[in-house]
Amino acid sequence: MIRRKIYVFVLLLGVLILTTNVFALPVGQHVGFFDLEFPGSTNSWTHSLTKYNFIPNLDDNEPLIIKHALLLLSLNFEPIKDMGKYIFNASVDLEGSLLGDINYSSRRKHWVYNLIWGTSITDSFILDKIANKSATITITQNIGTVKYVQHSVLLGSARVAPEPISMALVGAGLVGLPIAVRFRRLLRK
């Protein structure tokens, strides 16, 4: 009887160790990510996060939970003159979700080169899209014209999440143990 209990304990411990070592990094490991893109004259581009964009490097299979991210853009644009001012307005979206607006107003400049615009991303819906390791950024021009996007930087911090399927199997096995014991006792009678 004791031998069987030890066998079940060792079996469960082995399954638990296997499911937690499926990935290169342990569950809960903090990682940072950084991706630099040079979109050029397009208004839409994709940040594709590979294992090399993470510190420490991922195995490309680890699911992530991202708590915070930051997007920085360097833009060249042409504002429109309106009532003595040069005005530019555009909205920045990530996968269709609004990140923020770029607003510019000046009395002196007609062309703007390398304006740095940034936004902190804390919305969990948007962070979940980034956790899929692919984020499409789109600039919609409202007033004025974007001429060139010098660079786009997406960075932030994340942690490795437990793999849901393996954890569900372990949970189902643990829940099923008492049922199996009772079923076995009924068969003995």
Both 86 and 149 in a single domain?
A: yes
What was the pLDDT predicted at 58?
75
**Residue 24: how many CB atoms within 10 A of its CB?**
15
What was the pLDDT predicted at 67?
85
Is residue 148 very low, low, confident or very high in pLDDT (cuts 50, 70, 90)? very high
* Mean pLDDT taken over the chain: 82
Q: How far apart are CA 178 and CA 62, in angstroms?
A: 32
Percent of the chain with pLDDT over 70: 71
Higher pLDDT among residues 15 and 123, named by residue: 123
Which stretches does DSSP call E strand in the chain? 30-37, 44-48, 54-55, 64-78, 80-82, 85-94, 97-106, 112-121, 134-143, 145-160
What was the pLDDT predicted at 23?
46
Both 38 and 108 in a single domain?
A: yes
- How confident is the model over 8-18, as a mean pLDDT? 62
Both 67 and 53 in a single domain?
A: yes
Both 35 and 13 in a single domain?
A: no
Both 71 and 146 in a single domain?
A: yes
Q: Per the structure, how many domains does the chain have? A: 2
